[in-house]
Chains A and B, each alone.
Chain A
Amino acid sequence: MSDFIFLYRNSPAAREAAMGTPEQRQKSMQRWMAWMRDLEGKGHLKNAGQPLERSGKLVRGGSKAVTDGPFVEAKDVIGGYTIIEARDLAQAAELAKGCPALDGAEGSVEVRPVMKLEM
């Protein structure tokens, strides 16, 4: 088994739209809970991860200029991450397909193998 990281991305506009009514939010919440439970139940969940604040700073190379994160205009902002265990990248991608972040067309899950250090 290898480790993979799921990076959840969404556009701020799509995120707001997906929020909808309290009832829709609760339904979305329930889909996430079911998905996480399923990952956990099948032994894939290594670390549930953390959500990230939407605001932040961006420090650029060279001038080291510090700006407010360009997140408001960004097409896809990372909203959080989870670390999972899977046989291979193909299985990890298959697992990601169940993620409720993909309910909206603008949401995406980036699946990246955590590099193994063979020392």
Chain B
Amino acid sequence: MPADLHEHLFRHEAGRMTASLTRLFGVQNLALVEDVVQDAFCRALEVWKLRGVPANPSAWLMTTARNRALDMIRRERTARTFAPEVTRLLETEWTAAAVVAEAFSGDVVLAEQLRMMFSCCHPDLAEPAQIALILNILCGFAAPEIAAAFLTGRAAIEKRIARGKRLLCGFAAPEIAAAFLTGRAAIEKRIARGRRLLAGSSTLFDLSDADFAARLSAVHRALYLLFNEGYHGASTHGAVRAELCDEAMRLTALLREHRATRTPATFALSALMALHAARLPARIDAAGELQSLWEQDRSAWNHTLIAEGQELLDRSAAGDELTAYHVEAAIAAVHAAAPTVAGTDWNAIVTLYDRLMEIAPSAVVALNRAIAIAQRDGPDQGIEAIERIADRERLGAYPFFPAALGELERRRGNVGEARTYFGQALRLARSDAERRYIERRIETALR
């Protein structure tokens, strides 16, 4: 009997094959790379559907891609320039096969995926564009799939990917202007800047580059945002959202495998993701309703992930760098260790939020800190802390800001104020799930 396919095997292999093939063909030939990947999948589909899935489908695909690559190099080597590091070696049969084989060896596949990830996080690309590019190139998501996940228009996502790819490939500015249908002058300026940055390195970002540290934090940030998009995103399409979290965790795990990227911050980010992902099964109840930390059935939490997250958090403590990821992971760890809301160490949580306000202050962090203070000291102190949030007008469109005030006023017995705040929260809800969640709060709170 044929073996079963690992879920998303094709998607993940697409990213691995793309990385190895780009090492050979060069980033300017990304379209050719994607043709070879597509061809490897076609062959897999044709052979496996009749002959069954081989014992090691991943190795089968990589071997097929390797052979296709060699065919392509033989056919195209007079017509094309490949990656600058290897193009001379690919010109002759003496070295071509060995170079191709090397590009598909384990360590190189990992390093090339990381280089691709770092290249996607080019400082010239806005963060949403970086994430779209990562999902497309490294995770095998097509534009419509990314659009569905982000609830953004398909055209907008295609544009983001196109822009990212063109930036990587160094396409001419007028072509990009055409794709964007925007003022050509503005685009040309943007591109000129991007091209200057990429000039001299027609290859992917190298992990030994001088701005490695800065780029690594951009990669961390992109993966963090990708995870958050899956975790907090406004959609209730649970399956799609969970996939974004899975991809963020998988790519962060790749960072842990390479000595250059295996930093304390990488471990902290991984810990943060594991500890939050552990709560995912309880976040949406059987009826598809959003459940807050307060309401969640804690027995549904994934305890394997909690243990894993705890261990990652321990490993992140090496060195003396304390990032926001460390503190956020530590907060998640306190929640994960608590049997109930009442049994939570709120004092530890308030202290951690104090640290977070020092490292990465924001109005949302301040609001969460105020909520923790209310848990520890009571609703009066919570409201006082909210009133002290300096930039709380930034929370004007955030439905959980009036919802928190409503909750605290209710606890103080001010039903009228509570009703007003909950009404505001309801008007600000960004999705049906949030709307129903707030309606439920109103129902239980003001009964």
Binding site for B on A (CB under 8 A): 15, 19-23, 25-26, 28-30, 32-33, 36-37, 40, 48-51, 79-80, 82, 100
A82 to B46 Cα, complex, angstroms: 12
Interface residue B48 (Cβ < 8 Å from any Cβ of A): yes
* B46 with A80: CB separation less than 8 A: yes
The 10 closest A-B pairs by CB, nearest first: A32-B49, A22-B10, A22-B140, A21-B142, A51-B46, A26-B10, A22-B11, A22-B14, A48-B50, A25-B41
Interface residue B338 (Cβ < 8 Å from any Cβ of A): no
A29 to B13 Cα, complex, angstroms: 15
State how many angstroms separate the Cβ of B74 from the closest Cβ of chain A. 16
Q: Which residue of A lies closest to B144 (CB)?
A: A21
Chain A contact residues: helix, strand, loop or mixed: helix
* A28 with B45: CB separation less than 8 A: yes
* B51 with A37: CB separation less than 8 A: no
* B50 with A26: CB separation less than 8 A: no
* A26 with B46: CB separation less than 8 A: no
Chain B interface residue count, Cβ-Cβ cutoff 8 angstroms:
27
* B8 with A29: CB separation less than 8 A: no
Interface residue B225 (Cβ < 8 Å from any Cβ of A): no
* A36 with B49: CB separation less than 8 A: yes
* B145 with A26: CB separation less than 8 A: no
Interface residue B210 (Cβ < 8 Å from any Cβ of A): no
Q: Which residues of A are found within 8 Å of B1, using beta-carbon distances? A: 37, 40
A20 to B45 Cα, complex, angstroms: 12
* B46 with A79: CB separation less than 8 A: yes
Cross-interface CB contact of B50 among A21, A23, A28, A49, cutoff 8 Å: A49
Q: Which residues of B are found within 8 Å of A79, using beta-carbon distances? A: 46
Q: Which residues of A are found within 8 Å of B342, using beta-carbon distances? A: none
What are 12 A-B pairs at a CB distance below 8 A? A21-B140, A22-B41, A25-B44, A26-B5, A26-B11, A32-B49, A33-B2, A33-B48, A36-B2, A51-B49, A51-B51, A80-B46
Given contacts A21-B140, A23-B140, A37-B1, A29 and B48 within 8 Å (CB-CB): yes
Q: Which residues of A are found within 8 Å of B41, using beta-carbon distances? A: 19, 22, 25
Given contacts A48-B51, A51-B46, A26 and B141 within 8 Å (CB-CB): no
* A33 with B145: CB separation less than 8 A: no
Interface residue B9 (Cβ < 8 Å from any Cβ of A): yes
Q: Which residues of B are found within 8 Å of A50, using beta-carbon distances? A: 50-51
Interface residue B42 (Cβ < 8 Å from any Cβ of A): yes
Q: Which residue of B lies closest to A33 (CB)?
A: B2
Q: Which residues of A are found within 8 Å of B49, using beta-carbon distances? A: 29, 32-33, 36, 51, 80, 100
